[in-house]
Amino acid sequence: MDNIKILGIETSCDETAASIVQDGKEILANIINSQIPIHQQFGGVVPEVASRKHIESIAFVVAEAFKEANLEYADIDAVAVTNRPGLIGALLVGLSFAKAFAYALDKPLIAVNHLYGHIYANFLEYEDIKFPAVCLVVSGGHTSLLLMEDATSYEVIGATLDDAAGEAFDKVARFMGLGYPGGPLVQKAAETGQAGLVTLPRVYLDRDDFNFSFSGLKTATMNLWKKLERQGSQNVNDMAAEFQTALVEVLVAKTIKAANKYQVDNILLAGGVAANSKLRDLMAEEARANKLKLYYPSLKLCTDNAAMIAGVAYHDFVNGRFAPLNLNAYPSQMSLLKRPVDIVDNSVDK
């Protein structure tokens, strides 16, 4: 099927986003209205504020996407929307808007799992990814290692047993007074700091499996930070550098180990934490050393956006996987862990 234009809508957290993507590849418009400046004053995302801001801006963001793509509303073939996982109130804003829009235009509705969107961001930009491949998904609410059979099906081979990688970045940043959003601020502080001056554990590096634990690293960081305060020797940049290195080294080591074990040639990174420069650099270094090809989305497609939602939805469109107008939203992060992408039905809770 050619020239299929899908409108994607994404409101799962603190970005109101709309995009139009043709044939799962060509981005005709990609509008992101970030709420970061609003939540910054609270030190983190306030769910009710996020919902209210989404409802104020969603119609404008969608209109802007059509303007950028130079299209009329009736030119699209379907409306895709993130309906899981995320903040429930925030998801419901995008979902309600998408339903009304699809109904008014008499176009099909497609339900998208936000995490499949993050993975798919790689396929928006690269055409030469070979399978099987190993994909490290690292976002604010999710961390897992997948063995991918093709662009839309995979097996979960490891996951965090507690906090997600992004969550650890955010909590540690908040604790050290760096603010929100934590990941980019820790990365910035680390640039002028030095890892190794203080020492944090490489949690689970010695274990043979592909699971992670970031809650232990977070606690160790907080305890050391308090101890250094008592000693009057706190240095936020050195601490940020060591924390970032401790977390990234484990992500990289386990991903490379998985690639070698499953004898794949290609590695993919996905999710907001994949924007981290230390993770990108160290993974690239290790991939080169192990003769593996590494792919990660450009910065704009790594963090939350609707192009990844409209892109992945194309595959649902061609397979006739449409959602009913009584589609609901679900906050659960667990959905990615359960089954391969190609048999997931996003329209029901599981």
Residue 108: CB atoms within 10 A of its CB come to 18
Q: How many CB atoms lie within 10 A of CB 326?
A: 7
Q: Kindly tell me the sign of the dihedral angle through the C-alpha atoms of 137, 138, 139, 143.
A: positive
**Partner in contact with 182, chosen from ligand KG4, Zn ion, none, beta carbon below 5 to 8 Å by kind:** ligand KG4
Chain positions 131 to 170 lying near ligand KG4, rule: CB under 6 A, are 139-141, 166, 169-170
Structural tokens at position 312: 């992945």
Q: Which of 93, 102, 275, 282 binds ligand KG4 (CB under 6 A)?
A: 275
Contact between 8 and ligand KG4 per CB under 6 A: no
CA–CA separation, 29 vs 85, rounded Å?
Answer: 24
Report in angstroms how near the CB of residue 276 gets to ligand KG4 at its nearest: 3
Q: By CB under 6 A, name the one of 22, 57, 187, 266 that touches ligand KG4.
A: 187
Burial class (CB within 10 angstroms; exposed 0-12, middle 13-18, buried 19+) of 177: exposed
- Work out how close the CB of 170 gets to ligand KG4 at its nearest, in angstroms, rounded to a whole number: 5
**Min separation Cβ 321 and ligand KG4, Å:** 22
d(CA 173, CA 185): 7
Structure tokens of 300? 């704009």
Alpha helices in the chain, H assignment, sequence order: 36-40, 47-69, 88-105, 114-125, 165-175, 182-191, 215-231, 236-261, 277-289, 299-302, 307-318, 335-338
Asked if residue 311 binds ligand KG4 (CB under 6 A), the reply is no
31: which strand partners?
A: 18
CA pair distance 156, 137, nearest whole angstrom? 10
Number of Cβ within a 10 Å radius of residue 23:
15
Closer CB to Zn ion, residue 167 or residue 304?
304
Minimum Å gap between C-beta 72 and ligand KG4 is: 31
Q: Is 195 in the site for ligand KG4 (CB under 6 A)?
A: no
Amino acid at 113: N
- The span of 3-11, 28-36, 180-188, 204-212 binding ligand KG4 (CB under 6 A) equals 180-188
Q: Considering the complex, what minimum distance in angstroms separates the CB of residue 171 from ligand KG4?
A: 9
When binding is defined by CB under 6 A, the residue of 30, 303, 335, 346 that contacts ligand KG4 is: 303
In the structure encoding, which two tokens stand for residue 81, read together?
A: 């929307």
Residue by residue, DSSP assigns 160-200 as BSSS-HHHHHHHHHHHTT--SSHHHHHHHHHHTS-TTSS--
Residue 229 contacts by C-beta under 8 Å, 6 or more apart in sequence? none
When the beta carbons of 85 and 108 are compared against ligand KG4, the nearer one is: 85
Tell which positions 134-163 bind Zn ion, by CB under 5 A.
Answer: 139
Least gap, CB of 168 to ligand KG4 (angstroms)? 8
Least distance to Zn ion from the beta carbon of 21, Å? Answer: 17
CB of 80 to Zn ion, least distance (A): 15
Can you tell me which residue has the tokens 């970032």? 244
Closer residue to Zn ion (CB): 238 or 304: 304
CA gap 93, 109 in Å, rounded? 15
Per CB under 6 A, the list member of 8, 108, 193, 271 interacting with ligand KG4 is 271
Contact 201, 251 (CB under 8 A): no
Site for Zn ion in 289-348 (CB under 5 A): 304
**Is residue 273 a contact point for ligand KG4 (CB under 6 A)?**
yes
* Pick 24 or 182: Cβ nearer ligand KG4: 182
To ligand KG4, the closest distance from the beta carbon of 323 in angstroms equals: 20
Q: Which stretch binds Zn ion (CB under 5 A): 38-46, 133-141, 160-168, 225-233?
A: 133-141
Q: Which residues bind ligand KG4 (CB under 6 A)?
A: 13, 114, 118, 139-141, 166, 169-170, 181-184, 187, 271-273, 275-276, 303-304
Binding site for Zn ion (CB under 5 A): 139, 304
